[in-house]
Amino acid sequence: MFSIIQAAGWPIWPLIASSILAMALIIEHFIRLKTARIAPPQLLDEALSISSLSVPAPEVVVQLEQSSALGEVLASGFRALNNNPNCSEEELRASMENTGRVVAHRMERYLSALATIASAAPLLGLFGTVVGMIEIFGSQSPAGGATGGNPAQLAHGISVALYNTAFGLIVAIPSLIFWRYFRARIDGYLLTLELAAERLARHLKVLRQES
């Protein structure tokens, strides 16, 4: 591996740094976007169950809020009623929507950095290719002929050009794939949160009409 890095020259170091950062972001998103931390499957049904007769007590709402991102959204609806039992349906929905925006922003944090790496890595590889081409032309004889050039410098220039091009694609392709994967996963979570908030809003509306 070190011999490859040495053959690729100094332009490969920004690509190596980008690859390490991309790997860290991918691992971090896999951990942060676990279903259990965002939208546990049974949480909505449990929230509807504990509020079948009345709005849960504040301490129960706090436990719900700390459970997951979905719990935060549902807890904001319960908290709005605990703070103001006469709040309108619009205010209730607005409270959950605002919390949903905060949760969405937290899920999308650093995702743009992964997209930036996916876009910048081929350009960094192209930069290394240009550096290698410069070294190739620099190895030629003053008269412009290839026979009088420096073979070692010529070989090194070709190595720099090819290794940086390849490594730029190696970094960019997985980064792009995982960026699209996480983007789709977040969109799915946001839809789940939106539908859950809508269902809770209808449930609380019926609950207040019955009380």
pLDDT in tens, 155-178: 777 878 888 888 999 999 999 999
Name the pLDDT band for 55 (thresholds 50, 70, 90).
confident
* Distance from C-alpha of 86 to C-alpha of 63, rounded to nearest angstrom: 24
The answer to pTM > 0.75 is: yes
pLDDT for residue 1: 61
* Distance from C-alpha of 89 to C-alpha of 95, rounded to nearest angstrom: 10
Residue with more model confidence, 132 or 139? 132
- Maximum average pLDDT range among 88-92, 140-144, 168-172: 168-172
* Distance from C-alpha of 40 to C-alpha of 146, rounded to nearest angstrom: 66
Calculate mean pLDDT across residues 127-142: 76
User: Residue 135 above 80 pLDDT?
Assistant: no
pLDDT in tens, 21-37: 999 999 999 999 999 99
Which segment of 4-8, 11-15, 159-163 scores lowest on mean pLDDT?
4-8
* Distance from C-alpha of 131 to C-alpha of 196, rounded to nearest angstrom: 54
Helix, strand, coil share of the chain (percent; to 5): 80, 0, 20
User: Residue 146 above 50 pLDDT?
Assistant: no
Q: For residue 97, give the amino acid letter.
A: E
Q: Where are the domains of the chain?
A: 2-210
Contact at 8 Å (CB) between 161 and 133? yes
Contact at 8 Å (CB) between 182 and 33? yes
Contact at 8 Å (CB) between 11 and 127? yes
* Phi, psi for residue 158 in degrees, rounded to 5: -65, -40
The overall average pLDDT reported for the chain is 87
